[in-house]
Structure 1
Amino acid sequence: MKKLNLLFIVSIFLVSNLSFAQNESAIEKEILELHKPTKKIRDSIVALQKGIVPKIETETDSIVKNQLILRLDDLENAKDQNDINELKLDFVFAKSHPNSFRSLQLIRIHVNRFIGMNFYDTFVDVFNNFSPEIKNSEKGLEMAEKLKYFKQSKVGSQAPEFSLKDINDKTISLDEFKGKQYVLIDFWASWCGPCREELPYIKELYQKYHQQGFEIISVAKDDKPDLWKKAIAKEKIEMWRHIFTSEDTKSILTDYFVQGIPHKVLIDKNGIIIGKWKGSGENNKHDLQKQLKSIFEAE
């Protein structure tokens, strides 16, 4: 009898797992079908980008070259918008499949990306709709942790406090700027090409608005302090504050939910996050310039 009971339990376990595998397989097919239109658009944009890059590299006319660069940037923006449209579809899909681990995976990969930056409330809504089994799974608990850091680092939140040593071994804390200055935290690295390409315009902003109450704190995700210091000297950006994140001090990256760089956070005099930009590109540059202009030319 015990042997029969054991066989019965094993059979139920196997059938249950087979059923789960079949359900997840069916869901995967649904997702592939769901993504067909956005995938088609993405592939078309990437093909156009691949055609423009070689032209930029060989073009000698500066006017034409700038036009090509702007066109490339427009295509990148179009690709981002297409990805956002796909994310919105994924939200609807995940909410209608609350018992699927694949649904959790579908939205989890976007939570710290640029395209998910403005959708905190939707992420929370979709996550809360998952079954207890999904939410309490290992990946579910990881997602809950991500949402915690997402919340505290989004626009409108009180900026996470920190107290760290800068390049001159002086303690720097966010609290010292409250009531006095607007602070731009620029997460970068010496090895990050897009980060360094942005430094000339960041310097312009600093020189234009520093006397009016604008400060910059650069936080480096470098592995080697010597390369970090050489990059600061080469780029001539010693005029503002610099922090190197070691194993002991990288909590600032977690607190500000920084996964990729460049990543910028603008904080007002009350310590509230009023701007956040992930990645590079002309849109981000113009948005930051516009926001600083509205702050300092209005005061």
Structure 2
Amino acid sequence: MSFAQDESSIEKEILELHKPTKKIRDSIIGLQKGIFSKIEIEKDSVTKNQLILQLDDLENAKDQNDINELKLDFVFAKNHPNSLRSLSLIRIPVNRFIGMNFYDTFVEVFENFSSEIKNSEKGLEMAEKLRYFKQSKVGSKAPEFSLKDINNKTISLDEFKGKQYVLIDFWASWCGPCREELPYIKELYQKYHQQGFEIISIAKDDKTDLWKKAISKEKIEIWRHIFTSEDTKSVTTDYFVNGIPHKVLIDKNGIIIGKWKGSGETNKHDLQQQLKSIFDAE
């Protein structure tokens, strides 16, 4: 059986479908560029912070626009179940921030594809992505790991069970947004550690010396640190980490109760509120 749809006509339909969201995206990017250039020359720190917050709002608006586009793509892919191009429409955002809360929809749309599409190379790749997505989403049991930390002591997730809430922070010394968040994470640690809050930072670094230097410079030796080398990077696969910063909050029963991809004020606020509601209640 050959593919029923003509892929080039499908491409045209997709371009047409994306015109409104592309227009919004282009306009947001234009506004962001304007604010970036203002930030570069702004001397007043109060004004500068206001501009940074405006950037954050625009980033949230861009994310919302991308989510709206994804919803359109789900409908399109469902209506074109025998097209590789419509599979790629939903395959690309599956591991991005915008797809984070749509696991059930991804599965529903994927199951609707013809067996030829599902068993294609890209189809099998998508099925695997969905498997990792499922095991790392909010509500799932956190994937177990047992790895050596910076002091060569073994850390296993199991040791925190019944005792502590654990925030896993996937980061890297070279990642600007990751490092910008460290003072704020440090505050959360100092506030809640005595009440049963632990942090494990898992670095996607290339060089151990730069990683150790960053830990020392940021003064974050107070919590646990793991370096993921080639032979231990399965932890990032298990947690479906494709970009950093990426945070996962695990409760005392070992269940994932929060997940944040990327940086920004909204993510900070959400994590803060979740910890506040946990520890104020205890």
TM superposition score normalised by structure 2:
0.99
Residue 5 of structure 1: aligned partner:
none
1:168 to 129, 151, 162: 151
The amino acid that maps onto 1:41 is I
Residue 277 of structure 1: aligned partner:
260
Residue 141 of structure 1: aligned partner:
124
Q: Secondary structure at the match of 1:49?
A: helix
Residue 233 of structure 2: aligned partner:
250
The amino acid that maps onto 1:195 is C
Matched residues in 2 for 1:283 and 1:140: separation?
A: 34
Residues 18-37 of structure 1, C-alpha deviations (whole Å, 9 max, x = no match): x86xx100000000000000
How many matched pairs?
A: 282
Instruction: Please say if 1:60 is aligned against 2:43.
Output: yes
Residue 182 of structure 1: aligned partner:
165
Instruction: Please say if 1:125 is aligned against 2:111.
Output: no
The amino acid that maps onto 1:218 is S
Matched residues in 2 for 1:57 and 1:228: separation?
A: 29
The amino acid that maps onto 2:112 is N
Question: Max radius of gyration: which structure?
Answer: 1
Residue 77 of structure 2: aligned partner:
94
Residues 83-124 of structure 1, C-alpha deviations (whole Å, 9 max, x = no match): 000000000000000000001001000000000000000000
Per-residue deviation, 1:56: 1.0
Matched residues in 1 for 2:278 and 2:124: separation?
A: 39
Residue 27 of structure 1: aligned partner:
10
Instruction: Please say if 1:290 is aligned against 2:241.
Output: no
Matched residues in 2 for 1:58 and 1:173: separation?
A: 48
Residue 264 of structure 1: aligned partner:
247
| More off after superposition, 186-195 vs 53-62 | 53-62
Matched residues in 2 for 1:230 and 1:69: separation?
A: 28
Residues 49-92 of structure 1, C-alpha deviations (whole Å, 9 max, x = no match): 00000111211112111111111100000000000000000000
The amino acid that maps onto 1:122 is T
2:67 to 64, 76, 84: 84
Instruction: Please say if 1:238 is aligned against 2:224.
Output: no
- RMSD of aligned Cα (Å): 1.1
The amino acid that maps onto 2:257 is I
The amino acid that maps onto 2:215 is I
The amino acid that maps onto 1:82 is N
Q: Secondary structure at the match of 2:225?
A: strand
Matched residues in 1 for 2:91 and 2:45: separation?
A: 42
Task: Using the aligned pairs only, state the percent identity.
Answer: 88
Structure 2: gaps spanning 5 or more residues:
none
